[in-house]
Structure 1
């Protein structure tokens, strides 16, 4: 995981509409940057829906939410539409941001070692500095946890 106090690595990825989005586009706002393993899985859906339900509260506090996984733009679009997600989800099939934020790790899946995204959330301040970093977060609890951190 990246250290609190570090400058958050910039990246440019495609959102669920196929448009380029860079972290630097959000300078001047607090950013909740969360990495999740896969669209439409139970934990990831709970987490995304929690951020969606609380999105007006994040906006009131001047924060934006960005979700990142290695799923395709097409997968993200379906995920967004199915659950009416009001925030940006970014496609990182090349693992550009996923590796820059040190969330691509060896995991144990049904007794087998596999590489995958470890559910991780960063709070980045208005100047692009990592203020908080949470690894191995609980999907259902993460949205309220992050709201309380703002």
Structure 2
């Protein structure tokens, strides 16, 4: 397993297919991390669609969506399931953030969060310059970092 990048280092770049529910319609795109320069990005890696903790995590981020956007940040949910699974998951739970399909596990490998055939629940905060500024990689993945924890990290990016 590759080592997770260190805080203060450039965030590993990747491009993945994504789906996002916008005004009730599913919008497909390819998202590239480096194309998001100019604003922070929260990368929320989660093990699987429709699992108990993952559903709670993504629903909480969706409910708190404005807390992120008010700070100029984008939130991406990333897991190894395919786009079809993400479409169903997003629609069923009315998730507002893009869900990225890392079926080849390239981003999982780049961020060093693989765990055999699974992945560790992890959140990375990338600043507007593409530098990794905060991370949490769970040992077991039975809990997740909540919206206030993540927005506090985003607030720190505003300080000189």
TM-score of the aligned structures, taking structure 1 as reference length: 0.89
Alignment partners' CA distance in 1, 2:145 and 2:120: 16
Q: Report what 2:102 is aligned to.
A: 92
Aligned match of 1:149: 153
Quote the Cα distance in structure 2 between the aligned partners of 1:13 and 1:140: 23
Distance in 1 of aligned mates of 2:40 and 2:77 = 14
Q: CA deviation at 1:40?
A: 0.6
Matched, 1:102 2:112: yes
Alignment partners' CA distance in 1, 2:145 and 2:123: 12
Q: CA deviation at 1:144?
A: 2.7
Shift of 1:77: 0.7
Distance 1:145 1:26, change over 3 A: same
Q: Residue 77 of structure 1: which of 62, 66, 87 is its match? A: 87
1:23-38 equivalences in 2 (<5 Å): 23-38=33-48
Q: Does 11-20 or 79-88 show the bigger shift? A: 11-20
Q: 4+ residue stretches of structure 1 with deviation over 3 A? A: 137-141
Correspondence list, 1:111-122, <5 A: 115-122=117-124
Q: 2:68 aligns with which of 52, 58, 65?
A: 58
After the TM superposition, which of the residue ranges 137-146 and 72-81 deviates more from structure 2?
137-146
Partner of 1:7, secondary structure, is coil
Alignment coverage as a number of residue pairs:
142
Q: Are residues 1:125 and 2:127 paired?
A: yes
Q: What are structure 2's unaligned runs of at least 5 residues?
A: 20-26, 155-160
Q: Offset of 1:90 from its aligned partner?
A: 0.1
- Secondary structure of the residue aligned to 2:35 is helix
Unaligned runs of 5+ in 1: 107-114
Q: Deviations over 1:92-128 (max 9, x none)?
A: 110011100111024xxxxxxxx31100000000000
